[in-house]
Amino acid sequence: MDAGFCQAEVLRKDITFTCSDLIDSLLAKRGNVLHRFKESSEKMSRLTFKKTFKKKKSPTKRRRDSLTRQAQFSGAASFFKHWESVINRLTPSWQACIPLATIIVLVWSYAAVAQAPAAEGPSTADLKVGLDTMWVMIAGMLVFFMNAGFGMLETGFCRQKNAVNVLTKNLIVFALSTIAFWIIGFGLMFSDGNGFLGLGGWFLSGADNSPATGDAYKGVFSALNWTGVPLLAKFFFQLVFAGTAATIVSGAVAERIKFFDFLIFSLLLVGIAYPITGHWIWGGGWLAKANFWDFAGSTVVHSVGGWAALMGAAFLGPRLGRYQDGQVTALPGHNMSIATLGCLILWLGWFGFNPGSTMAVDPNAIAHIAITTNTAAAFGGVAATVTAWLYLGKPDLSMVINGILAGLVAVTASCAWINVPSSAIIGFVAGVLVVFSVGFFDKLKIDDPVGATSVHLVCGVWGTLAVGLFSVGPDVVLRGGIPLYTAGPAKGLFLGGGLTQLIPQIIGILSVGGITVLLSTIFWLALKATLGIRVTQEEELQGLDIGEHGMEAYSGFLKETGTNSMLGIGSSGAGRPGGVIDSPMR
């Protein structure tokens, strides 16, 4: 305590001595300043005298000016003496703060003087482009995350011995989709051409001045001039949609297709088939001119993927042991936990899939689409649960999952153009359809391990028809005094619009289905004739994890090989590949 006080006292004395020296120096220099000022005054007087015909200032006036200046210096000295006495009365701690405060004030003053003038901020148009781009990219990332949902869903619905194969396909398919869509797909789908396909834009080449919109846009991708985001943002958002179409096929052909053939087919689907039909609808092609509407892809994405999956499942044939003696044998999935997780991830991703298709930050549209999307999913899940309970006798979890997805697929085409009650009806119908659709394809002996054709094809067709049934029509105000949409489908049949919109929807469904079936058939038959599309019986019984990849998803875990092994009864076939034909857990 004493040491601190002594240090503060020393600092106070130093400050006091410094102030005293400063004042004495000012007083000592005062005479010199006065002398120099006097000499300067005399020089100015001589000049003034010459300019005024040597009119000389009176001695009395010069003496008065000198006394005035002396009084000013005396006042300054008194001012400093006063502050010296004030400082001396302060405590040592406060006296020590004075130099620090002086330094801070000087630094701040210098920073204020040296500060450069603020640059002009971005314009309102620039801010809108930034916000729109951010929204499109975030929505695209949600859609990309749906690949994880598809991977979890399909793996859980398949058997343990094929888990690695299913996961690998879902992982690599997006990488292949990226390459194919960048090289040729995006150009075929969105570049300027004719009513059937685009004729440029390979590798994203060609003129483009995005984010300009409308008539201000000058480039080769005129079909996307309605959205004011950079070209690469447009490409990314459309890319994740293309990857979704390829992933749909993966589930329908699971557990028996050769891995290499699936890769080749994915390249052909994303690079050729998907972009051609996409150009007809979203690329300004002939269906778009025929007034066919599909907001986020019930037909463009889901039906196309569903048609391709249906043809693949048909040409591959059913899994071993699936249909025996005219009966359908259940081959249940090995992990419903991750299948449920996959469903929840897909549900989340759909909030990027549908609302993100606005490709602009439109608060009313985004909120409305999110609610119609969620409502359809909810009613689809409930409807599938009730239907399965009544029709199958139990509330089958796999049906609940597919019911939710069915509602999401069905509302995708119309989510921006319908009211909320209509979305509930669309979702409910989809939930009922998906349950009966699974049984229908089983009767045709078309084996789909995950129900992809029922969810994406059947409910995609239903959702596309729903546009012609439930659309409210342009410039119709639902709430808030703002029309739901100004450009879009005509009023639907159930809202008094007649068949005006329903007929183009039917034409679109048939035409897209026809060309997709044709191209998929060509692809599958070509692969079957050259490489063979199905694994051998031994590989299928052993599992594609070992046969195709040489590894197991659950290495070290005990595998259930059949009823006998589960009951602890010995069997000559237990524990040996092929010992029990197509055991659910193997």
- Domain-by-domain residue ranges, the chain? 2-110, 125-549
Question: At 235, is the secondary structure helix, strand, or coil?
Answer: helix
Q: 70 is written with which tokens? A: 């002396």
Tell me the three-class secondary structure of 504-533, residue by residue.
HHHHHHHHHHHHHHHHHHHHHHHHHHHCCC
| Average pLDDT of the residues in 272-296 | 98
Of the spans 41-55, 557-571, 572-586, which averages the highest pLDDT?
41-55
* Count of Cβ atoms closer than 10 Å to residue 480 Cβ: 8
Q: 256 is written with which tokens? A: 């028996």
| pLDDT > 60? residue 28 | no
> What integer pLDDT is reported at residue 72 of this predicted model?
64
| pLDDT > 50? residue 563 | no
Q: Angle, to 10 degrees, between the axis of helix 274-281 and the axis of helix 502-530?
A: 170
CA atoms of 243 and 144, how far apart (whole Å): 8
| Average pLDDT of the residues in 236-265 | 97
CA atoms of 472 and 529, how far apart (whole Å): 49
Q: 463 is written with which tokens? A: 């959702």
CA atoms of 110 and 273, how far apart (whole Å): 67
Which residue in this structure is represented by tokens 């001039």? Answer: 225
Residues of the chain with pLDDT > 70, as a percent, come to 78
Phi then psi dihedrals of residue 393, to 5 deg = 95, -15
CA atoms of 101 and 107, how far apart (whole Å): 10
* Residue 282 near residue 197, CB atoms below 8 Å: no
| pLDDT > 70? residue 69 | no
Q: 557 is written with which tokens? A: 């875990």
| Average pLDDT of the residues in 334-354 | 98
**pTM over 0.85, yes/no:** no
* Residue 322 near residue 582, CB atoms below 8 Å: yes
* Residue 222 near residue 305, CB atoms below 8 Å: no
Tell me the three-class secondary structure of 335-394, residue by residue.
CHHHHHHHHHHHHHHHHHHCHHHHCCCCHHHHHHHHHHHHHHHHHHHHHHHHHHHHHHCC
Query: Burial level of 539, CB count in 10 A (0-12/13-18/19+)?
Result: middle
Residue 287: which pLDDT band, with cuts at 50, 70 and 90?
A: very high
| pLDDT > 70? residue 391 | yes
> What integer pLDDT is reported at residue 37 of this predicted model?
43
- The secondary structure of residue 257, as a DSSP letter, is B
Which residue in this structure is represented by tokens 């990219």? Answer: 137
| Fold of the domain built from segment(s) 125-549 | Ammonium transporter fold (1.10.3430)
| Average pLDDT of the residues in 286-311 | 98
Q: Between 421 and 114, name the one with better pLDDT.
A: 421
* Residue 436 near residue 459, CB atoms below 8 Å: no
Strand bridging mode 327-328 / 477-479: unpaired
First to last CA, the chain: 82
| Average pLDDT of the residues in 460-467 | 98
Question: At 69, is the secondary structure helix, strand, or coil?
Answer: helix
| 530-539: long-range contacts, CB 8 A cutoff, minimum separation 24 | 531/258, 531/260, 531/261, 531/264, 532/258, 532/261, 533/257, 533/258, 533/261, 533/315, 533/316, 534/256, 534/257, 534/258, 534/316, 534/317, 535/256, 535/257, 535/258, 537/320, 538/577, 538/578
Residue 29: which pLDDT band, with cuts at 50, 70 and 90?
A: very low
Residues in the chain: 586
* Residue 417 near residue 489, CB atoms below 8 Å: yes
* Count of Cβ atoms closer than 10 Å to residue 8 Cβ: 16
Is residue 242 left, alpha or beta, with left meaning phi > 0 and alpha meaning psi from -120 to 50? Answer: alpha
CA atoms of 36 and 43, how far apart (whole Å): 11
> What integer pLDDT is reported at residue 58 of this predicted model?
59
Which positions ≥6 away from 568 have C-beta within 8 Å? Answer: none
